[in-house]
Amino acid sequence: MATVGLTEAERESIERFERDVIHPSMTALVILDFWAEWCGPCKQLSPVLDKVAADYADKGVKLAKIDVEQEKLLAAQFQIKSIPTVYAIYRGQPVADLTNYRSEGQIKKALDQLLAQLKIEPEGAAPKAEIEPLIAMGEQVLAEGDAARAANIFAQVRDMAPDNVEVIGGLVRALVAAGQSAEAREILDGVPEELASKPEISRARAALEVASAPAADTSALETRLAANPDDHEARLEYASAKMAAGDRDSAADALLEIIRRDREWNEGAARQRFLQLLEAQGLEDPWSGAQRRRLSAVLFT
């Protein structure tokens, strides 16, 4: 913004704008609120913006306010014709007009979309390029069976990226595999509501539930099944015991046998447990793909 021919007050106004809006917008999304003391709608919107900015401060969002009566030059530069007027600024440029969003929910939804589209990282967050190789290392170590070491890797990465759902999910699954289910459950219970439905978190939760199936001596269950192959309750307990023991193949076989014999038994409990087993393994895992094909063969033949 040119400063030639400006008064001292106008120069100071521009300096404040560069300090409070332009510079922060180089790395953060700045909500820019044009308002005035006499504006009733501005006073209604102001506390909503304050709360949203506070809630999103750790996501890379900042709030700046411009009093159009005190900063007439800036208001003219932005061609402000009515207030409140609210823009989202990124890298010195308006990227969205938020003026028509007046509720907390509407503003947060718009910010979520902008943060995702612009790939804005929280202040101090580790770059994605730095995190991804470490996540891959943790997953490889976990796949090789060293759950304790994998948990240690994911825990260290979580210090760098506390809200990364891949890291949280990997840490929970590693803890589950290492027999530390209580710690895994505590982490899941602390996951923010907006992250709880992410696929990575759902997979981690499924892994915990599968591992939490009660262990049991299967010999008695096998005797019951030999006497009555339609004892689905015994077969479900058998599958759960195999899950707890880490024998996914036997668990899948038992659940598919229940589905083959009576797919609607107990409101589809076997199918639900079967899908949970696949989710715990990872829906993209080759084993899960093979099991889905087995399920399709049972359902459609």
Known catalytic membership, residue 167 = no
Give catalytic status of residue 283 as yes or no.
Answer: no
Among 21, 30, 39, 61, the active-site one is 39
Catalytic residue, from 29, 42, 52, 83: name it.
42
Contact 118, 95 (CB under 8 A): yes
- CA geometry: angle 168, 276, 193, nearest 5 deg: 40
Is the Cβ–Cβ distance between 3 and 18 less than 8 Å?
no
Are 37 and 67 in contact by the 8 Å Cβ rule? The answer is: yes
Q: CA triplet 30, 16, 11: central angle to 5 degrees?
A: 135
Q: Which long-range contacts (CB under 8 A, 24 or more apart) does 166-171 make?
A: 166/135, 166/200, 167/131, 167/135, 167/138, 168/195, 168/200, 168/201, 168/204, 169/198, 169/200, 169/201, 169/203, 169/204, 170/135, 170/138, 170/139, 170/142, 170/200, 170/204
- Write out the catalytic residue numbers: 39, 42
